[in-house]
Amino acid sequence: MSVPRLRITKVKKCFGATQALRDVSLVVGSGEVHALIGENGAGKSTLMKILSAAHSADGGEIQLDGQVFAPATPLEARSAGVAMIYQELSLVPHLSVEENILLGREPQRLGWIDRSERRRLALAALAKLNQQHLPLKVPVNQLSLAQQQMVEIARALVGSPRVLIMDEPTSSLTQVDTKNLFEVILRLRDSGVSIIYISHFLEECLELASHYTVLRDGESVGMGRMTREALPGIMRLLVGRELSEVYPRVPHSVGATLLEVTQLRGVLKPRNVSFQLRAGEILGIAGIIGAGRTETLRALFGLDPQIGGEVKLRGSSCNRATPRAWLQKRVGYLSENRKEEGLMLGRSISDNLLLSNLHPCATGGFINRRRQDRLASSWMSTLGVKARNSAQNISDLSGGNQQKVALGRLLHHDAEILLLDEPTRGIDVGSKAQIYQIIGQLAAAGKSVIFISSYLPELLGVCDTIGVMCRGTIRTIRPAPEWTEHSIIATAIGQDEN
């Protein structure tokens, strides 16, 4: 029996207390396109970072053509023949196409770049992709996304890699560009390159890959030949967990329409999003990473430009309103990026809680310290924030307590509509349950919530209505009881029968 191109055996990886990879095994033959499938957070990225030497494994073994493969630096991984194409394009924006393709391996004579040789090598790499018409001297920030992707692939092809890893390469491409990319992938496969293709879109995997491996919670839970018959089994493996957490339901009823969004369009995403939000409604938005969920809220809230569409609040038009204007209309937004955007790390709990509405504790423009502390302390006990006092630095708190403070800011602002982007990401189970409780109480008080989450059980457990996004649009909106995890995933990856 011949030696496989790449053999990964029982690889493990921990980050502190979190076990990102428990037990992953994967075998890829030469000239094979291998689909790596898994939900957000299943460990795909960690595995790929180990292969490209951005991380090192804690246990297990990786063999490349029968030799042990343990690169210490990204450069070593590349020289050994493993090249990676990242989901977010990683080009140097100001350098030209040919400079990007040869970056780090410039042909040189005594430190001076051999320009004609560089040109020849860049052209040779582009020719493998049938893209030799790309303008070599143009800075890459002048190219379209699809062109940039070709440059990125060309860079990976310099030095003839044996294994090429592609992470969600189609997430920002149009259909035509995707088709071209597929031709390129198949051409590379036929020339003997092994390709690990990471994608949420099973249809794509079916078109390209001959084999698959499914990752779930850091383990490889299934592998086999990629055929249409294998799809139902893969879907089962993807979902495969029990509704273990309990979602406290606060009884509430849904009233008249408050917010009406019609064909909302942003710069790239969202492409076309329409929905209605009623008083006392919890509207969940599901979708894979890159579907445009965050971008929808950002364009709605005026953080990113709104290019087209219509936004109405209580029947009056609110197109292109600024965040300040939305806050004045008592609409609040909770960022998914707690550390960089959601909170002022380094400032106190009370500063973070009260920033958007300082009037209750200010007189004539000056903040009354005692009133501020009293106000913040009362919110802290309402929210169950565990801390010494309201003057404590927010960065000392656990993720769960930080998130309660961030959510508390919207409560203190007395927002009527709360736009919550991944409010439970990266926090402990107890805090999650408290946040579900708060959301339920808000709805019972007649307030409306939009709840973005990648964790389906909580959406199904908490929301009244769920909309599923796919490639920049909301594909389907239905009452939550009419959804199952299976049908949400199928819609999110474009596998529903629409």
Which is nearer to another protein, 40 or 79 (by Cβ)? 79
CA distance 406 to 79: 46
- Binding of another protein by 263 (CB under 8 A): no
- Binding of another protein by 73 (CB under 8 A): yes
Minimal distance in Å, beta carbon 149 to another protein? 15
**From 3, 14, 103, 145, residue interacting with another protein (rule: CB under 8 A):** 103
286 beta partners: 468
Question: Which structure tokens are listed for 107?
Answer: 């042909």
Q: Among residue numbers 118 through 147, which ones bind another protein (CB under 8 A)?
A: 127, 132-135, 137-139, 142
Helix, strand, or coil here: 19?
Answer: strand
Minimal distance in Å, beta carbon 395 to another protein? 20
Q: Backbone phi, then psi, for 445, in 5-degree steps?
A: -85, 10
Which is nearer to another protein, 113 or 444 (by Cβ)? 113
Minimal distance in Å, beta carbon 143 to another protein? 8
- Binding of another protein by 426 (CB under 8 A): no
* 3-state SS record for 180-225: HHHHHHHHHHHCCCEEEEECCCHHHHHHHCCEEEEEECCEEEEEEE
Which is nearer to another protein, 134 or 474 (by Cβ)? 134
Minimal distance in Å, beta carbon 50 to another protein? 15
Which is nearer to another protein, 98 or 421 (by Cβ)? 98
Question: Which structure tokens are listed for 199?
Answer: 């994608």
Q: Which residues contact 169 (CB under 8 A, 6 or more apart)?
A: 85, 87, 149, 181, 197, 199
**From 16, 111, 251, 315, residue interacting with another protein (rule: CB under 8 A):** 111
- Binding of another protein by 90 (CB under 8 A): yes
- Among the residue ranges 89-97, 203-211, 299-307, 453-461, the one whose residues contact another protein (CB under 8 A): 89-97
**From 3, 14, 92, 367, residue interacting with another protein (rule: CB under 8 A):** 92
Minimal distance in Å, beta carbon 72 to another protein? 12
- Among the residue ranges 96-104, 171-179, 232-240, 287-295, the one whose residues contact another protein (CB under 8 A): 96-104
- Binding of another protein by 159 (CB under 8 A): no
CA distance 464 to 249: 11
- Among the residue ranges 20-28, 91-99, 201-209, 341-349, the one whose residues contact another protein (CB under 8 A): 91-99
Which is nearer to another protein, 56 or 368 (by Cβ)? 56
Minimal distance in Å, beta carbon 40 to another protein? 22
- Binding of another protein by 94 (CB under 8 A): yes
- Binding of another protein by 105 (CB under 8 A): yes
Question: Does 248 sit behind a cis peptide bond, omega within 30 degrees of 0 on the bond before it?
Answer: no
Edge to edge, the sheet with strand 282-286 lists 331-334, 417-421, 448-452, 282-286, 465-470, 473-479
CA distance 196 to 13: 20
Other CB atoms closer than 10 Å to residue 47's CB: what's the count? 28
Q: Which residues contact 71 (CB under 8 A, 6 or more apart)?
A: 52, 53, 77, 80, 82
- Binding of another protein by 113 (CB under 8 A): yes
Residue 283: closest CA among 439, 432, 472: 439
CA distance 428 to 48: 27
Strands (E), 253-335: 257-265, 273-278, 282-286, 308-313, 316-317, 331-334
Please name the amino acid found at residue 332: G
Which is nearer to another protein, 104 or 364 (by Cβ)? 104
**From 70, 95, 146, 289, residue interacting with another protein (rule: CB under 8 A):** 95
* Site of interaction with another protein (CB under 8 A): 73-75, 78, 90-95, 99, 103-106, 108, 111-113, 115, 127, 132-135, 137-139, 142, 155
